Amino acid sequence: MAKKIAIVGGSPKAYIPDLASFQEEELLWIGADQGAEVLLEHGITPDVAIGDFDSVTKDSKRKIREHAKVFDEYPNEKDETDLELAIRGALKQNPSHILLFGVTGGRMDHTLANVQILYPLLKEGIKATVIDKQNRVSLVEAGKHTLKTNRAYPYVSFLPVTFDVTGITLEGFYYPLNEADLPYGSTLCISNQLIEDLGTFSFRSGILLVIRSKDLTQ
């Protein structure tokens, strides 16, 4: 049966939102390396703790082993990152949606590589969202999509990740568009806002990165 799965990585803890606020949803929690430590710090028992655990102390590793329902340890030298191992484990659960926490901030190479993970998940037909304190990021293919107003993340930006996104139309937004083309590198669709409870965006070809965000003061 399809599940909603939350994976917590080991990126800087300052970027991770209050995970307890997401417990209202029925989630299976996977902690990748230090992400398992983060889950315990947020009062959440990891359903799965996975990785080489080289980013935590011996005492923290012991606590993770004691509390996690499944503890899956790998050697330090391996082909996959801890996050990749966590995603591979999540895919075995036939998920309908994967939420990715603790995968942004700090080193830019890590952040960009982790955002790029959205692409193979998209190709598997799995909805995936990167979430941190300021942003919710997802990747979408051509077609018609809807967005609900989210006061916690009021700004909406659309970034092309293919060389061309064609025929983009925005309805229910402060800055509407009709059949516009969005070449790679364009900033035309940065920092928009919904003005209705439900907005739609559609485009004919290409792939868009959809970023819902807020300022630190909000």
- As a whole-number percent, the residues of the chain with pLDDT over 90 amount to 83
Quickly tell me which residue has 């190709």 as its tokens. Answer: 123
- Domains assigned to the chain: 3-133 (3.40.50.10240), 138-213 (3.40.50.10240)
Output 126 or 76, whichever has higher pLDDT. Answer: 126
pLDDT of residue 1 exceeding 70:
no
3-state helix, strand, coil in the chain (%, to 5): 25, 40, 40
Q: What's the whole-number mean pLDDT along residues 189-211? A: 96
The answer to whether the CB of 37 falls within 8 A of the CB of 60 is yes
Q: How much is the average pLDDT of 191-203? A: 96
Instruction: State yes or no: pLDDT of 76 exceeds 90.
Output: no
**If you count them, how many residues does the chain have?**
218
The residue written with tokens 């901030």 in the block is 105
Q: CA geometry: angle at 28 spanning 81 and 39, to 5°?
A: 65
Of residues 152 and 103, the one with the higher pLDDT is 103
